[in-house]
Amino acid sequence: MNRSILLIYTGGTIGMKQDTETLALKPFNFNQITEEVPELKKFGYKIDTISFDPVIDSSDVVPSFWVRLVELINENYKKYDGFVVLHGTDTMSYTASVLSFMLEDLEKPVVLTGSQLPIGMLRTDGKENLISSIEIAAAADSNGRPMVPEVCVYFKTMLFRGNRTTKYNAENFRAFRSANYPILADVGIHIKYNPSVISYPNEWGKELKINTALDTNVAILKIFPGIQPYVLDAVLGVKGLRAVILETFGSGNAPTSDWFIERIKKAVNDGLIVMNVTQCHAGKVNMDAYATGIALKKEGVVGGFDITTESALAKLFYLLGKYSDIDDVKRELVSNLRGEISI
């Protein structure tokens, strides 16, 4: 079966090569990808490329970029069996998370990957990441259905659910982790898929729906020992703010000082959504475990379970764009919509 893959280059380290004269790094022409990575010809797949113009540094990612990306996938959805998105690593987990909510009833792989070293460098990790991502995006079962019909991140021999990932290491080739969810596939001599943790449609054949209305009136407040009232006042008092992600200690704990609890209570009563997400890389929020968590729950703070901060932000962008009633948003926040939380 001749599989077809659309390769979308948005920017990032993976798409760079050294100028032979100046040795400076510069983007290469992705229409000539098989010249840079001739191994791709051995697949026998139809691989087409689209490159953002201009390409962007992933630190400059904004919602309009996500809208453009999902519209591009939607426009080409029926033409290809899978999609590979080349993206800078710094915000890859944010993009993977938000795409999982923007692409509703997805039945084809959307695999994000990148590299720590440019593809044009001798020791690059980019070639293996790219080659394996394309093979995964093209993989089908005996019925011709995709092996992994969801938004994923592939990096250094491991395939992750996109909205469960966090960039963990700025220098190591094993840059990403998914602490609270198993890997979807382990890539060695063979690609070993783990179907029991992959999300498959309850009913195949639905039309892809894209959700492009995102409301970014959200802030992240990381709790720290010695935090002062004026810090909460500055964040909670932002004009137009609709939600705050409270990054708390351990299993969802925060100071129990009267001034702290009173400010949280007032914010919630004023209609602000406050979501409790742990600062820890692994584990979950349990606001019934300690008095500090119980105090937050009593005042109407929403528990985030084992969600990552990246996914919590993406989920709020999506839900706030979808609903005007905060009760609807709160109801959906504690529901598992795209495999982003374990309940």
Is 13 an active-site residue? yes
Of 78, 70, 137, 10, the C-alpha closest to 318 is: 70
Of 167, 214, 250, the C-alpha closest to 70 is: 214
Question: 48 forms bridges with which residues in the sheet?
Answer: 6
Handedness of CA 53, 169, 98, 319 (dihedral sign): negative
Q: DSSP states of 287-331 as a string? A: TTSSHHHHHHHHTTPEE-TT--HHHHHHHHHHHHHH-SSHHHHHH
Q: DSSP states of 209-226 as a string? A: EE-------EEEEE--TT
242, 218 contact by CB (below 8 A): yes
Please give the distance of CA 13 from its chain centroid, rounded to a whole number: 18
Return the number of other C-beta atoms located less than 10 Å from residue 74's C-beta.
15
Among the options 13, 89, 113, 248, which is catalytic?
Answer: 13
| Catalytically annotated residues | 13
